[in-house]
Structure 1
Amino acid sequence: MNAPNRGLNIEWIPDSGFQLRKAGVQFDAVRVDGDDGRRLADLMEAIVGGEPGPVVTEANGRRAVYFLVPAGTTVRRAWPKGVLPFNAAAGSISYVPVPALLGRTWPISWRYPPTYPGRFVHTLILLNAACLLLG
């Protein structure tokens, strides 16, 4: 058991700092930048009545918000403008920043940390919420 991972034993979460993880292996991700990403995270929380699954935020640059969804679920979906899927589709290699659960991880942090292995944001709920919010 890994103390820095609060006993969750999720292999893709680093022990300290943050690391890049290849999308499409353990998870896909959906990135929405800036205030739109934060509004989408708030909407997801409201829709599901609590934490929506693992969501990572950046404090600088694009101020990106990454919604971690099950691997392979972002491919061949019509995402609205301003939404960028990260996956391992043919001809696509994407990396997602993943912070440790504890310690210094700035500028990357968990908006909603993982609660147990295999728990991710529900892709179809996210897609519908993104279409509602972003058109």
Structure 2
Amino acid sequence: MTMTNAIHRPDWIPASGHQLRVTGVYFDAVRIEGVRGEQVAGRLIDTTDGDAGPIVCEATGYRWMYFLLAPGEVRRHDWPLGVQQFGGKSTLSLTYIGIPALDGNTWPLRWYSEPTPEVPYVDTESLLTAAGRSG
């Protein structure tokens, strides 16, 4: 982690450990399971020269990858099969996503790609392209 990212900490990122945040407020999220999620994240990082925006991954269980989008983005698009969507005002239930701190012990969550001042959210079109090619 660079010092620039340590200084840039949006208020929805906890100072330590990890906390649950409701989707549709600070961000929308899509999640993709395991190896496929890692492949999509890898493509996204490659196509953005390493500045893909906020991607959180789980170290246990299904090893979900969570791609955090600007609020309201999820419902504006059709997503490929296997991409789960969270957020938007039209949903009947609340969904919480675990968000790790930028440093320290955040197990079982970690940042695969951190938000930056230039890229506070994952670019939706880039994510759709990366997810659509993931087979």
1:55-109 deviation line (CA, Å, top 9, x unaligned): 1000001100001110100104211111001103322421111000111000000
- Deviation larger for 5-14 or 106-115: 5-14
Is the CA contact 1:57–1:63 (under 8 Å) kept in the aligned structure 2? yes
Count matched residues: 130
Structure 1 unpaired stretches of 5+: none
Distance 2:89 2:128 in 1: 18
SS in structure 1 at match of 2:12: coil
Q: CA deviation at 1:118?
A: 6.6
Identity of aligned residues (%): 42
Is the CA contact 1:56–1:67 (under 8 Å) kept in the aligned structure 2? yes
Q: Please, what TM-score do these two structures have when normalized by structure 2?
A: 0.89
Is the CA contact 1:56–1:111 (under 8 Å) kept in the aligned structure 2? yes
Structure 1 runs (4+) greater than 4 angstroms displaced: none
RMSD between aligned alpha carbons? 1.6
Aligned to 1:49: 49
Aligned to 2:13: 13
Q: CA deviation at 1:49?
A: 2.2
Aligned to 2:125: 124
Alignment of 1:1-135 (within 5 A): 6-90=6-90, 91-116=92-117, 119-134=120-135
SS in structure 1 at match of 2:126: helix
Distance 2:100 2:130 in 1: 25
1:16-55 deviation line (CA, Å, top 9, x unaligned): 1101101111110110010000000001012222221111
Change (3 A) 1:35 1:6: same
Distance 1:15 1:117 in 2: 21
Structure 2 unpaired stretches of 5+: none
Q: Please, what TM-score do these two structures have when normalized by structure 1?
A: 0.89
Distance 1:61 1:82 in 2: 17
Amino acid at match of 2:104: G
